[in-house]
Structure 1
Amino acid sequence: MKNDYVTKLELAFNNFNQNYAMKSRKDAFGLLDNAKGEFVHYAMTLAYMKKRIEAFGSRKAKCLDAGGHLGILSTLFRDMGYEAINVDNMSNFDEVLFGNALKFMEDHEVAYLNVDLMSPELSIPIGSETIDVVVFQAVIEHLPHSPRLILDEFCRILKRDGSLVICTPNGGNVGSRLTMFRKGDWPYWNLKMFYESKIPFLGHHRLYSINDLDRMANWSGFSRDSTNTIFFDHGTKTKGTFLWKAFWHGCYRPVIYRFFPKWRAGIWAVYNKRL
């Protein structure tokens, strides 16, 4: 059953696709495919952002959507009342797509900063202690090097009571553990697909466990808010698959997740800047 935030996501994507010449992207990244379950963690972020801005009361709040791509999520933050900034690098977009994305954000009063978050000389052109919330959604796994620079920048620009939302696939998920155990293969990318990919490789360079995230965040000046930590699972199509897969997804996996939540497919966590 869809919740209000999933509906808002659908409307935002449909608006972009229908009105900003992106009809070829009927559903960007399969976000709205319930079987894939990609909407789950985006809905979590929207719910948290709504709760946060309500807690701010009359005070104006500013958020940074780091790696916000086309700015669709940023516009939903703006609709909630945030002063929203999308920071990302669109240099690999064609001119039409880049122009459409800029027009979309301009029409929805979202600021855009063209910054390469993967640069070894990273410096986000935002003043220190000026941002209330940073959203880092499905990005950290794409960094080809240490996330130290970007986490340090987040700590610099966040206010003293600021928070950082990180969402990423779980490097310790049970499926990856079993793949490594059964086959001895690195479980996160098909080797042939990785070998034949274009350079630079835009897929997942590294996946992190919750312990990995905690340690790195701590080194950069953050502490995890355990009350705002969720281990989630993606939906999975079992119709028409092998019987053992249907049995695994329908029976075994839910039992394992109940006793070992840290083995789920994804991590959604909030980190607070230490005072």
Structure 2
Amino acid sequence: MRSVRGARLMISGGASGMGRLYAIRAVREGAAAVSLWDLDEAGLERVAAELAQLRGPRGVAQTRVHTRALDMRSSEAVEAAARETAVAIGVPDILVNNAGIVAGNAYFWETDNDAVTRATIEINTLAHCYVTREFLPDMIADRGRAKRILNVSSAASTLANPRMSMYAASKWAMTGWSDSLRLELRQAGHEHVRVTTFCPSYVKTGMFQGARGMFLTPLLEPDEAVDAAWTAMLRGQAVRFAPRPVWLARALRGLLPVPLWDVLADWMRVTRSMQQFTGRR
């Protein structure tokens, strides 16, 4: 896939942060339609109004924008939203599974079962499974255009880290599911649908307010993260780490004995990166 020109996209978490930036990029590149999902209805309205003011490439019709406010933890709500979206924009050519939360700066035994444990797994992992299951059969059946699924995971899915155990767990599950799905599609002969797993370090969207950058791994600017994910998605790249040192840290974690890696992770400030985390206020 060379561009999203003429494509239909569904973007979860579209009311702010990287979701908003993916939508802006889609409109500027001439997407035919964009559906934005989020729990924040007012945020969706603001982004939709912003997108209406943007211009795409010359000679390309204005992108249709559809919004749907819902709680993606409910499979029934996702099913209903998927039916509405299919009517509004048609079968998506691109799914951007971007919605996510992070609740941190506490040890696991200090966290609340529902507010942290359950919500983190349901939103960061299960919700994306629900969404993809609703749209994927039609994406597989529609062979007239290449299809893409961009699953936004995290560098936390490759390296354990204190004070974010449930977030790491949700992203390890996300990465494992995402890459397994990629292999399943290839094995079943549906290679027009390609899955990209995006694993960034901390991104400066406010979601990780207070988190500290690690050695050789500064906090990513949102535009930089979106550009890396977008490029990898168009290419159908299996996995993309950002910034590049995340890949190096993952490789070292696999090669070194655990006690030696623990010492190195302390020195690289990996294990202290969430100590001052506050998140959005």
Larger helix share, 1 or 2? 2
- TM-score, normalization: structure 1? 0.47
Larger strand share, 1 or 2? 1
